Amino acid sequence: MSAQKVLTLSELTQDQAVRVEVNGVPMAVVLDAQGEVHAIGDTCTHGDISLADGFVEGESLECWAHGSAFSLRTGRPLNLPAYEPVPVYEVTIEGDDVLIDPAVTKAVN
Ligand code: FES
């Protein structure tokens, strides 16, 4: 599988997550304050909640339901109640296009 165009940069608002599906894989896409685009799994590992409905805080995305914040870089929850990470997807920017490969996840370390 290869990276697919999912959005354009102009469709993203800084610090507001957008939910997308790439080949049926739900993701939350975030343009952070440094201008970097991140894509992580959209489903909170504590419950069936869309993380894109949550809040961007620096380099994390906080689930609105019970407050676990997930690192946009590693996918790891930074606080309870969630304790399992979400996947992190490789993002490529080509001009104004945001490409994501749903088959590729960055290593969580
Ligand atoms: S459902 Fe996300 S922290 Fe509980």
28 contacts 89 by C-beta, under 8 angstroms: no
Does ligand 1 lie within 6 Å of residue 58's CB atom?
Answer: no
pLDDT in tens, 51-61: 999 999 999 99
32 contacts 72 by C-beta, under 8 angstroms: yes
Q: In the chain, how many domains are there?
A: 1
The rounded Å distance from CA 96 to ligand 1 centre is 33
At residue 109, does pLDDT exceed 60? no
Average pLDDT of every residue of the chain: 95
pLDDT in tens, 66-87: 999 999 999 999 999 999 999 9
Structural domain of residue 37, as residue ranges? 4-105
Tell which atom from ligand 1 comes closest to the C-alpha of 68. Answer: 3
Tell which atom from ligand 1 comes closest to the C-alpha of 63. Answer: 2
| CATH code, 36 | 2.102.10.10
Q: Is the peptide bond before 81 cis (omega within 30 degrees of 0)?
A: yes
At residue 38, does pLDDT exceed 80? yes
Residue nearest to atom 3 of ligand 1 (CA): 66
